[in-house]
Structure 1
Amino acid sequence: MYENPIEEHKNLVFPKKEKLKNKKLFEQLFSEGKSMSAFPIKLLYTKAVFDDDVSIKVGVVAPKKKFKTAVKRNRVKRLLREAYRINKPLVFNNIEGNYAFLFLYLSNKIPNYEEVEGAMKELLKTFLKKESHEKIDT
């Protein structure tokens, strides 16, 4: 993909400024956000305005109702973040505008990485198709 391994590494990081932390934005995602899913992941997203120079901010959720122990919830969230980090160039290179993403884990069992990454790729590709289609319509 890239000739320069340092340049490739810069694109595959998930820095603090790309993490979704704004409580109002979280609430907006649940109330007004659009959604799509590829089992076992659901993506909620909405257009947003950020103060910093980031085009996408991302949050991940593993429900306490399905994973009682913090160890299991953290494992699921770690897998979601890693799958996003690896596949984020799919979105960053092909999107216009600013978005807030929230990835929700839907299944009851702890996944393996391959399941999560496959669903993540499918979701990001579907998101790109849907958003580029909406730009053409408007």
Structure 2
Amino acid sequence: MGTFTEHSAEEQPLSYRFPKEERLRSKKLIEQLFREGSSFNSYPLRFVALQVPGSAELPVQVLVSVSKRSFKKAVDRNRIKRQMREAYRLHKHTLSKANPEGGTWCIGILYIGKEKSPFNVISKKLNLGLERLLTK
């Protein structure tokens, strides 16, 4: 028989969920992100990040996008977006210590490649990009 261990209030287990609240949906914030945010590439991904001061009820909000120009078929775009969301979901715990002074990090992850990449490449590049965000 296995033993049951309880987690204290300070020691929360890692949550691998990606709820709707963590998705960047506000038009105002999206416009501000692309107007004022800093960006860098980790091919085939492009990261755009902006720290918005204010209440930190949500420390990180993420936007995932794939160009219709590069991938004409919605099936291809949706598959890449699904892979990017899954990779983010698995690696988002690296951002948990990124917000010591409050506010919200708005992050846009754009797929800029012209060909479909396998999940392991997307996952590795997304993890490298998130770690680079921490060093900025």
If the length of structure 2 is used for normalisation, what is the TM-score?
0.84
Distance 1:65 1:84, change over 3 A: same
1:119 maps to what in 2?
A: 125
Residue identity matched to 1:109: E
CA distance in 1, matches of 2:16, 2:127: 15
2:110 maps to what in 1?
A: 104
Residue identity matched to 1:95: N
The size of the alignment, in residue pairs, is: 125
CA distance in 2, matches of 1:129, 1:81: 22
Percent of paired sites with the same residue: 32
CA distance in 1, matches of 2:59, 2:128: 20
Unaligned runs of 5+ in 2: 7-11
Shift of 1:50: 6.4
Q: What SS is found at the alignment partner of 1:7?
A: coil
1:83 maps to what in 2?
A: 87
Select the structure that is richer in helix: 1
Partner of residue 59 from structure 1, selected from 48, 60, 63: 63
1:16 maps to what in 2?
A: 20
Q: Contact 1:95/1:128 (CA < 8 Å) preserved in 2?
A: no
2:9 maps to what in 1?
A: none
Unaligned runs of 5+ in 1: 131-138
Shift of 1:7: 2.6
Q: Does 1:74 align with 2:78?
A: yes
Q: Which structure is larger by alpha-carbon Rg, 1 or 2?
A: 2
CA distance in 2, matches of 1:30, 1:76: 21
Shift of 1:49: 4.6
Residue identity matched to 1:54: L
Partner of residue 42 from structure 1, selected from 46, 59, 72: 46
Q: Contact 1:59/1:101 (CA < 8 Å) preserved in 2?
A: yes
Deviation per residue, 1:92-126 (Å, 9 max, x gap): 13432321010000101111111101101110111
